[in-house]
Every structure is written in C-alpha cells, then in structure tokens.
Amino acid sequence: MSAKTPKNLAVFVSGTGSNFEAMLKEHIPIKLVVADRPCKAIDRAKEVGIPTALIERKNFGTSFDRGLYTQKILEVLQTHGIDLVAMAGFMTILGDSLFTTYDGYILNTHPSLLPLFKGDHAVKDALEARAKETGCTIHIATADLDDGPILAQRSVPILPNDSIETLHERIKIEERKLYPEVLKNILVGNLVLPQTVV
C-alpha cells in the first residue's frame, strides 16, 4: 500500500494549549480536539467552533485501565474519521492499540533535542545536566515514549540564569513555529509519513 496524505487532523491537549493556539493562527485545519481533562485548550477549541471530545481521565493511580481508556479514544477518532493525530501537551500515555491502528500517523512535540532528555522532566533534566543547548523535537510517536522517528528539531541556547520556566518558554517559542510548519507540510503532501494507516 502506498503512503496516503492524511486530511483529518485531531489535536490532543491537556493544558494551556499554546501549541494548539499556534496551529489555529497558522490556519491548520483541525477536525477534532481531544482532552483528558478540562483545560484551557479545550475551552479555546469550543470558542472557535472546533468539535471537541473530553475523555476525562479520573484515575491517575496504578489501577488506571490504560487499555480501556485508549479504546474510548480510538472510538472517538474513528467516529470523526481522523487519520492524523498531533499530541500537543497531552499528559496521558496511551496504550499500544492506538499506535498499532495509527502506525506512523501520530505526532508529538517534545521539549528537548531527542534522543536527549526523554520523559516528563525534559527541561529540568537539560538544566541539571548543565547542557549548553536544548530545544524541541517534532517526531512520530510510537508505543515507546519519546522514541519514534524524528521529523524536525530546533535548538535553543541555555542561558546562565535560566529557570525551568524561562527555558521552557524559550523552547515553546520554537515549538510554536515548527509544529504548525511540519503539520502544514504533511497535510499538503510535501512531507510523506513513513507508514500508512491500517
């Protein structure tokens, strides 16, 4: 099967949604916004009239049923005919079934120059490692956290007086330029993703 250009994008959010806002500003066509909790980003999606799905995660403990939660997400995506997912600060790790069904068509932005500083504390870890620079990475998300093929990166210097907040904000300035650019290229067929939707 040859690669096809995806058309129906869903953006996954949990928080502020400044990356989502940057996509809106760049007129990225977004068919659905999915959130795992009430948040500013989903309120903003409603405000601009984009369909939303709040699939609320109530359990943050060890008994969280990741498989069932992922199944609910898959059902919503399929109801809306989604063929491309962009994670933008989504804070729940999803189960394998999502990555199998949408193999190669789930994107993520991560606040480091992957493969350096994977995980939740990427900005803090870069500061603590006394790195001279860090940055952001747009990559294909796989079942292995922050590990899929890299599509684009931008580096950002680490300044002597940086705090986690100042450094993260400087990284996010780059993410907000790079993520919409990558999405635009995928949606017009200039950037062909490596795999097809099953």
Q: How far is CA 144 from CA 99, 119, 140, in A?
A: 10, 11, 11
Residue 166 lies near ligand GRF (rule: CB under 6 A): no
Select which of 110, 121, 139, 168 is catalytic. 110
Amino acid at 141: A
Residue 139 lies near ligand GRF (rule: CB under 6 A): no
Distance in Å, CB of 19 to ligand GRF, minimum: 3
Which residue in the set 6, 10, 11, 17 belongs to the binding site for ligand GRF (CB under 6 A)? 17
Residue 16 lies near ligand GRF (rule: CB under 6 A): yes
Residue 111 lies near ligand GRF (rule: CB under 6 A): yes
CA pseudo-torsion sign 152, 46, 4, 67: positive
Which residue in the set 69, 83, 106, 109 belongs to the binding site for ligand GRF (CB under 6 A)? 109
Give me Rg for the CA atoms of the chain: 16
Burial class (CB in 10 A: 0-12, 13-18, 19+), 109: buried
Annotated catalytic residue 110: yes
Residues that bind ligand GRF (CB under 6 A): 15-20, 88-89, 109-111, 172, 175
